[in-house]
Structure 1
């Protein structure tokens, strides 16, 4: 699950509302809205409040839209590009690895899901996704493009958002191995 911090927007209510009335809004990332399949024409959502948490869902009659998996050619091209970027990380500005508009949106546009490594854990329950030594032993056992793409997306999101430490050489090596295998599978 991807999370972000946001601020509630409070605005003066207009029309026939009382003087002290306010409207409350929150801005959500456009990429999330796109992934849900919401558009100007199809913008209906369902809000739920359980006393502690507000959730936004598509109505039951309108299933969540996931981006279909891209062609192997597109996936391979993306994987080869990022394999080289991670391999040559010393000469690549850090923002290319950190900004969501490069790796994150690219993976989402290819149809991969950032599932916090859940699909990987289900397939390889005894392997820690972020452990580079374990990754070296199992990466060539992965024979599913969607599984590997989701694992890459989840690991990238970990380093982009949740980790409070800079990437080390082993972390760059993890991505080189992952993108290399993804390019191989998409050939």
Structure 2
């Protein structure tokens, strides 16, 4: 988890405010806002306060706003490239796996949703395919393109944003298996 120290900005309220009301603001790093997928068109977030801590979270998009899946050729090409990147991870600079502009934005542009593995858990409640490579191999003949793409996007986000340690060899293998199956599914459409 990334952290930064910042200061709260206090400004006087404008308009017809009586007394001496003020408005409080905090500037967020642009890179964080980009990684959250916020844009001037999609900027609504949910704030939560527990008495000590404030958290900011994306609001779930309605299904009507969800992007359609991209052309199968684009999905297949993306899956083949990233499958090879993960397979040859020792020869690839680590920053390539972390840049939202490469993997995260690519998955979103293809129409996949970062859902924290929820669609995979709903589809296969008996298997821990979101974390376990062997379980993923076991369900690979049954998984659909959207569910697998969502799982890849969500698992990438976990390693990119929440994990507190480096990826292990088994984690890279999971991505190789997942991207390989995604490429097959895109070919079969």
* TM-score, length of structure 2 as denominator length: 0.75
Q: Secondary structure of the residue that 2:65 maps to in structure 1?
A: coil
Alignment of 1:67-78 (within 5 A): 67-78=67-78
Superposition RMSD in Å: 3.4
Which runs of no fewer than 5 residues in structure 1 stay unpaired?
none
Q: 1:32 aligns with which of 27, 30, 37?
A: 37
Is 2:142 the counterpart of 1:137? no
1:119 alignment counterpart: 119
Report the alpha carbon displacement of residue 83 of structure 1 after superposing the two structures with TM.
0.5
Unaligned runs of 5+ in 2: none
After superposition, the Cα gap between the structure-2 partners of 1:116 and 1:179, relative to the gap in structure 1 and judged at 3 Å, is same
- Say how many residue pairs are matched: 175
CA distance in 1, matches of 2:7, 2:111: 30
Cα pair 1:104 1:153 within 8 Å, conserved: yes
CA contact (8 A) 1:8 1:24 kept: no
Shift of 1:135: 1.9
Is residue 164 from structure 1 mapped to residue 164 from structure 2 by the alignment? yes
After TM superposition, list the pairs within 5 Å mapping 1:18-167 onto structure 2. Answer: 21-26=21-26, 27=28, 29-30=33-34, 32-34=37-39, 39=41, 65-128=65-128, 129-142=130-143, 144-167=144-167
| TM-score, normalising length: structure 1 | 0.76
